[in-house]
Structure 1
Amino acid sequence: MFNRKTKEYPIGQQPLGSVAFMPGGVFDMAVASVFIGILGLALPLALLRVFDHVIIPERDDGVLIWLILGIGSALMLEVLLRVGRSYVGGWMGARFEHMASCNALDRLLHANITDFEKLGAGAYMERLNALGALRKFYAGPAANAIFDFPFVVFYLGVIAYLAGLLVLVPVVLIVLFVAATWIRGRLEKALEGRMLADDRRLGFIIEVLGGIHTVKGFGMEEQMQRRYERLRETSAEADYRLARDKESVQSLGAFFSLLVVFGVAGFGAFPVIDGTLTVGGLLASIVLAGRAVQPLETAAGLWTRFQAARLARDRLSVIFDIAVEKPTGLLELPTIEGALDFKDLSFSYGKGKDGEDLPPVFQNVTLRIDPGQTVGVVGPSASGKTTLLYLMMGVLTPNHGTARVDGYDLRECDPTNIRHQVAYLPQEAVMFHGTVLENLTMFRDDLANDAMDIGKLLGLDNVVAGLPQGYDTTIGEGAEDKIPRGTRQRIAIARALVDKPRVLLFDEANSFIDGAGDALLKDLLMRLKGRVTLILVTQRPSMLRLADRVFEIRGDTLFEHDLQAGQAGTPAEQAAPAPEAT
């Protein structure tokens, strides 16, 4: 697995390696391939012996029987070796896909949020699905063909030994076959077209299914269906072009395979007639030519798979190129008091989709929040309220200046350790597949009692009592729609408080809670006031009345309200900090 402390992958667990990532399996496949190649000589050499010594001159039935038994045994052993090699290849492929997919998800989970959001969920799903193409290439017929390639030269050498210049026939045809496959098999453009079409189609499906209530509420079913049909038509055209090109390459391989055998048989007949080549030698050469061309016939499909695998690797590498949250010292924070400090902080989201520079969200902000203070934050939509909270918890990193908690620079701290002590409550509560209790505890059974105690303070016990199975009711994967949004917000709030955070970042997390639930939430926040640093992003005056200080986001800076005068005052960096809470 990806090591978050070293930001490296252990040896042998590279995310996108080739067959070299499992030397034990490679060795087994190589040994099996050597024996398969040697056993491939059994039939042609037996034919040489039978027609040149047993049938024509000697007519020895006893030797013929032993040759038949020997050939049968060799063929059976070859089949067993091929089956064993396919098992090893399948195991290697499954292990590669497991390791790479786990590492890819680990990378996404620890990605820098700004870089992560440059692509949609559909694009990431399509890139994760690219692992299948890599698995088929690294550990399927492609791997077998790679091990069989050396025996092409070996079999051609045996033909040269048995039939002399007749070997030029398969050599010339094989060279022509390779050239034709190279020219005809340029599929990058078709593959890229299909992958781009799949990206758009998957993104659209996720968007529509995620907003199905909105689609139905506005009667947009027909419009969405038409849009999907157009996207699917583009995908179908790309699939057709790709299938057409792949089939033409594979048909070309089958044609040249037959042509090689026919060419050796046809041109080999002349030296047989002249007496310079025996019938057994010709038959052995025909079989050996067929053996030599088999890996190349597989290579016809291998070439198309190689191009698909190369594109899949490039697309999957996008995941592994995402910048991870990368603190320099990985400092494990001690239990913090909850002081937050911005000094000359500036932040911008960088460049837009068209490459233009985006305006700064914050510029030269200096702010000090003492432990235990309750601070309200207001501002118009899209003014940067959520961005401010992300900066406070280290999800976003300032372009200039510093963001500190208890004097520790957030860039130098372990992000996982920070978020156990700095809790974030989003406006949209996300549920995971599991029971209500598992969502409260985030699947940590030892916190069940604490979670239910906090839930009781929010009135969750009465709400959950009305569910079919109480706290054991399953939610997530569509089942969460049975749970009202206000109840989901209560669950998310209780979940955040289970870890007993020292800083609570409240991002309008009560927008769907009813009046009774809101009153319970305010009572709970009053109990936390002075003991926990509270940052309340809210537009509700009743919630703002809990605040010791209120800041308004205007433009790219913060202005502190004069609570006594009831109006906005000086910028945050000029306002004197409130006295430390006791």
Structure 2
Amino acid sequence: MLKLMWRYTMRYKGFVLMNLICAMGFVLIELGLPTLLAQMIDEGAKNNDVAYVEKMGWYMLLVVLVGILLNIGLGISTARITSNITADIRDDLFAKTQTYSHIEYEQIGMASLITRVTNDAYQIMLFLQNILRMGLVTPLMFGMSLFMVFRTSAYLGMFVLAALPILLIGVIAIAKISDPLSKTQQTNLDKMNSILRENLSGLRVIRAFVKEDFEEKRFATVNDAYATSSKKLFWLMAFAQPGFFFLFNIVMIVIIWTGSIQINQGSLEVGTLIAFIEYIFHALFSFMLFATVFMLYPRAAVSAGRIEEALAIESEIVSPKNGITQTKTAGVLSYQNVTFAYPGQSETPVIRTISFTANPGETVAFIGSTGSGKSTLVQLIPRFFDVSAGSIELDGHDVRAYDLPALRNKIGYVPQKAVLFSGTIAENLRYGKEDATEEEILAALTLAQAMEFVSALPEGIDTQISEGGSNLSGGQKQRLAIARAIIRHPEVYIFDDSFSALDYQTDAKLRAALYDVTRQATVLIVAQRVGTIRHADKIIVLNEGQVVGTGTHEELLETCPVYYDIASSQLTEEELKK
């Protein structure tokens, strides 16, 4: 934890130096006031020297003004350091998550990642605020106060020393108790975020199956667990502070009683006792504040550990040094004995020893039963996953040898589930091409058969899309996702079952329009409907992760029983004979 904080804090050395100067100055000012007060009483008030009292009063006023300025400087430097560090941590975490492959996302979990970027970073900020404001001031104040205590009266100082071990034992005990509670609290917060995320994204399913009560109970269970751990932490802190004050007050009573006896005996001045009480107050109060900071440590340590874990994870999918960025050909794709198994499932490959070639100008389609590995097969090209065995070559080079951005810039990928982002329709299409003009956007929408519904919207391409595209139908989202891929004019088009939400008429129009745009590119289509792929140059039939047939629609009807079964379940006898 300390390494993490030190690494980020050292980015702002100027503000750290300002913080140290203001903290040290503030301590000297705070301890200077009791000294001036003691002199005012013992040398001025006792001797009825009005001029001396006034002079010391002006000195004290000046010291107070300087103390105010130093305190303001301390607050400014603390605020700048903590806000910048929190922003840096969140930026670094977000940037790191962008490098994760699907494996790392599954390893940590989406809800946990969101918690780490938001709540865990906030816990670090709270701890740093206390460290920089009190964590620096209080040790200095405590040390200087103890020095002044023993300099003023070594005898009375012994009472302060007697209380310190009790305070120290209390702080250590509280820290040990709060550490497991903090870990439990953060774990429960992850679970809460996970359930909340699932509920918000699956709201329609929950309502369709009338499971609102079940989900409420599920959330309430985790919420109660979070509340229980939080209550225990709050109870711990609630008892800690009064306990410290109780001990603090006992020490003060003993010192005032003993000091009064010494004044009565003439061995101690009134002003000295008042200054001594101030020094003790600063010493014990500083220790108590530092103890409060120390009690925050377990929670911050848990958060820091989770942040460090997320930052330390290295992605399984990395861009090689000096990766390939340019090739002589454009769109030549070759699968060579490709086998793939998801991590942790090496004994059950999803696809096995698949080989085929696709050239520019060709449309290659994949069809098969659910779970046959169609989507997985095409997701290996942009390296969402890496092959377990064999190789995939694009333009004569293994995809793993490419610079990742260069590889993915060659590909126009339309996922099975159309994903749109909050923003305008134009902004979503510019994901495909950042500098796309309005004319290019309109042309892509026209090709994707989306212009009709977009032009009917009040603001056209400037219409705002809700989070996840919830204000659009499934077919509208798919057409916008297709337009986003078209606008970049890639070398390889991958349509991963991206026509499933379209009606047959729109599907046919869209594929006809795509023909002119994609005639120089390699087109891969994953589909469930035979009607979508029957005119493909090559159809690859998959069953249980293996190729069981390759050819045109007509050839497969005669040579591949699996394809015939799929086709006969979707087409009429007349259509099968055509």
- TM-score normalised by L of structure 1: 0.89
Matched residue, 2:146: 156
Q: 1:508 Cα shift?
A: 0.4
* 1:391-441: CA deviation from partner (whole Å, max 9, x where unpaired): 111221223333221122222322222222112111211111111122122
Matched residue, 1:328: 320
* 1:276 paired to 2:267: yes
Q: 1:562 Cα shift?
A: 4.1
Matched residue, 1:6: none
* 1:299 paired to 2:290: yes
Q: Is the 8 A contact 1:550 1:561 kept in 2?
A: yes
Amino acid at match of 1:439: N
Q: 1:545 Cα shift?
A: 1.7
* Local SS of the residue matching 2:325: coil
Matched residue, 1:167: 157
* 1:71 paired to 2:64: no
Q: Is the 8 A contact 1:185 1:245 kept in 2?
A: no
Amino acid at match of 1:320: L
Matched residue, 1:107: 96
* Whole-angstrom distance in 1 between the partners of 2:258 and 2:376: 77
* Whole-angstrom distance in 1 between the partners of 2:301 and 2:67: 32
* 1:493 paired to 2:493: no
* Local SS of the residue matching 2:477: helix
* Local SS of the residue matching 1:551: strand
**1:296-445 map, 5 Å:** 296-324=287-315, 325-334=317-326, 336-351=329-344, 359-442=348-431, 444-445=434-435
Name the CA shift for 1:273/1:18 in 2 (closer, same or farther; >3 Å): farther
Q: Is the 8 A contact 1:15 1:100 kept in 2?
A: no
Question: 5+ residue gaps in structure 2?
Answer: 563-578
- The aligned length equals 551
Q: Is the 8 A contact 1:458 1:521 kept in 2?
A: yes
Matched residue, 2:521: 532
Q: 2:132 aligns with which of 109, 129, 143?
A: 143
Further displaced range: 72-81 or 367-376: 367-376
* Whole-angstrom distance in 2 between the partners of 1:400 and 1:242: 51
* 1:190-211: CA deviation from partner (whole Å, max 9, x where unpaired): 1122112111111111111111
* Whole-angstrom distance in 1 between the partners of 2:94 and 2:298: 24
Q: 1:523 Cα shift?
A: 0.5
**1:163-242 map, 5 Å:** 163-186=153-176, 187-242=178-233
* Whole-angstrom distance in 1 between the partners of 2:249 and 2:11: 37
* Whole-angstrom distance in 2 between the partners of 1:497 and 1:260: 78
Matched residue, 2:575: none
Amino acid at match of 2:531: S
Amino acid at match of 2:78: G
Q: 1:214 Cα shift?
A: 1.6
* Whole-angstrom distance in 1 between the partners of 2:462 and 2:412: 25
Q: Tell me the percent identity.
A: 21
* Local SS of the residue matching 2:371: coil
* 1:448-482: CA deviation from partner (whole Å, max 9, x where unpaired): 3212102112222211122122222111227x322
Q: 1:330 Cα shift?
A: 4.5
Matched residue, 1:473: 463
* Whole-angstrom distance in 2 between the partners of 1:348 and 1:425: 23
* Whole-angstrom distance in 1 between the partners of 2:134 and 2:60: 24
Q: 1:301 Cα shift?
A: 2.0
* 1:131 paired to 2:131: no
Amino acid at match of 2:371: A
* 1:38-76: CA deviation from partner (whole Å, max 9, x where unpaired): 1122222123212322222x2201111111121122122
* Whole-angstrom distance in 2 between the partners of 1:358 and 1:288: 72
Amino acid at match of 1:517: T
Q: Is the 8 A contact 2:478 2:499 kept in 1?
A: yes
Amino acid at match of 1:505: I
Question: 5+ residue gaps in structure 1?
Answer: 1-12, 571-582
Q: Is the 8 A contact 1:112 1:322 kept in 2?
A: no
* Local SS of the residue matching 1:512: coil
Q: Is the 8 A contact 2:420 2:477 kept in 1?
A: yes
* 1:331-366: CA deviation from partner (whole Å, max 9, x where unpaired): 2522651122233433222227xxxx6622234444
Q: 1:273 Cα shift?
A: 4.0
Provide the alpha-carbon RMSD of the alignment: 2.4
Matched residue, 2:566: none
* Local SS of the residue matching 2:467: coil
Further displaced range: 278-287 or 531-540: 278-287
* 1:471-510: CA deviation from partner (whole Å, max 9, x where unpaired): 22111227x3222210111010010111110001111001
* 1:536-566: CA deviation from partner (whole Å, max 9, x where unpaired): 1102112222322222333343344244253
* Local SS of the residue matching 2:535: coil
Name the CA shift for 1:321/1:344 in 2 (closer, same or farther; >3 Å): farther
Further displaced range: 422-431 or 14-23: 14-23
Q: 1:90 Cα shift?
A: 0.9
Q: 1:297 Cα shift?
A: 1.6
* Local SS of the residue matching 1:196: helix
Amino acid at match of 1:291: H
* 1:51 paired to 2:41: yes
* 1:261 paired to 2:252: yes
* 1:108-167: CA deviation from partner (whole Å, max 9, x where unpaired): 1221221112343322221112100101112x1222222121331222112111112322
Name the CA shift for 1:496/1:14 in 2 (closer, same or farther; >3 Å): farther
* Whole-angstrom distance in 1 between the partners of 2:261 and 2:337: 90
Q: 1:266 Cα shift?
A: 3.5
* Local SS of the residue matching 1:446: coil
Q: 2:24 aligns with which of 21, 30, 34?
A: 34
* Local SS of the residue matching 1:459: coil
Q: 1:450 aligns with which of 414, 431, 440?
A: 440
Q: Is the 8 A contact 2:4 2:304 kept in 1?
A: no
Q: Is the 8 A contact 1:16 1:100 kept in 2?
A: no
Name the CA shift for 1:170/1:306 in 2 (closer, same or farther; >3 Å): same
* 1:247 paired to 2:238: yes
Q: 1:60 aligns with which of 49, 56, 59?
A: 49
Matched residue, 1:8: none
Amino acid at match of 2:415: P
Name the CA shift for 1:165/1:395 in 2 (closer, same or farther; >3 Å): same
Matched residue, 1:7: none
Q: Is the 8 A contact 1:170 1:263 kept in 2?
A: no
* 1:271-295: CA deviation from partner (whole Å, max 9, x where unpaired): 4444433322222111011112233
* Whole-angstrom distance in 1 between the partners of 2:561 and 2:369: 17
* 1:207-259: CA deviation from partner (whole Å, max 9, x where unpaired): 11111122222222222222222222222212211211122223333334434
* Whole-angstrom distance in 1 between the partners of 2:330 and 2:321: 21
Q: Which has a greater percent of helix?
A: 2
Q: Is the 8 A contact 1:260 1:290 kept in 2?
A: no
* Whole-angstrom distance in 2 between the partners of 1:568 and 1:124: 46
Amino acid at match of 1:169: F
